Amino acid sequence: MTGPACLVGVGETPYAKWGGLGGTTEYDLALRAIEAAVADAGLTLDQVDGLASFAADRNDAVFVAADLGLPELRHATMSWLPGGGGACAAVGNAAVAVEARQAEVVVVYRSLCQGQFRRFGRGPGPRRADGRPPGLRRAASPLDAQAAFTMPFGMLSPPITYAMVMQRHMHRFGTTSEHMGNVAVRFRDNAARNPRAVLGGTALTLADHQASRMVAEPLHLFDCCMENDGACAVVVTTSARAADCAKGAVEILASAQGAAGAYGHGQYVNVYVDDDLYTSGGSQVVARDLWARAGIGPGEVDAAMIYDHFTGLVLLQLEDYGFCGRGEGGPFFAETELPMNTHGGSLSEAYIHGLNHVVEGVRQLRGESTTPGPGAETCLVTSAAGVPSSGLVLGRRR
């Protein structure tokens, strides 16, 4: 086999606000997304021999393989990186598998069904029948144990955590709410051209953003990603097999994953890191390795899909990845013409833990995006900032 692993198929279910897909299950959505991605690649399920996901995915690969009727499962991996930090890592793990000949066709998938399970961002647990807060319980994980030191002081959800990070960034560098609003407005404009986008039919202006209710100062409602049900998947295979697939292959030029030393779960539970790290997306180590492996720099990418759970974290990632200097993310975003989150992102297309950003990266380089970057040959995709993270550099196959 010669050449890097390739992305050859993408698939999605419909996306909807949490609870908006009726009685469907998260597991069923996962199966449907995998089937769609394999069909998009011009392959059959009989040719799939690997599965990968991330963020403690509930849809176990062994059961997925059995229920899809895969002849055999030769490779199954789960990225340890938390939350949306592992989307690009899962694709990178799949690429390593096919390049090492552990598998030939690996499907990376992510499914969320908040209508079936717990709605995100609700704090430590449901109230008891008498209306009082939940009682004491034993921590189920190291994250639970660490959060026990912050939750009593009101740090109950991601918007509160990253509001603190952005407050500090604003204090140090002069970043403004309008800088963050520019992100929300641009991504909503992109979503307006995307028929899959949940908020594609709803226009947003900077005035709308500024007038929206405050969630956790300085984060307004439109600074925060949506809560959605849906699933998506991508197909990774060898360079040799990619030549026979139905659509243009996209090469995985580089992948990287990890975190700086002592970062732990990131700012969500760790407020003791150095100020430069605290007021960042925490992706500097990933960015360093990614650019070195790709052999290019930020000035040489034609499009970027930046994880956008919160608008401010987009600005911090642009700084981490070297598109601008520390503290310059807001002005840079306002001025750059680099196509970003051309599907609308987690703010306006759907929140599927960032795997839909990889889907859009493939579409962008195939020339299938609803907001195309003219002649795009390379695309950066990042996973969540503020937690241990990962990234990809994708390239159009010549």
Catalytic residue flag (residue 263): no
Q: Out of 15, 109, 307, 321, which one is annotated catalytic?
A: 307
Closest residue by Cα to residue 345 from 148, 175, 192: 192
Catalytic residue flag (residue 307): yes
**Cα 71 from Cα 66, distance rounded (Å):** 9
How many other CB atoms are there within 10 angstroms of residue 149's CB atom? Answer: 11
Q: Out of 27, 109, 268, 351, which one is annotated catalytic?
A: 351
Closest residue by Cα to residue 365 from 339, 396, 386, 344: 396
Residue with tokens 């839909």: 356
> Where in the sequence numbering do the catalytic residues fall?
307, 351
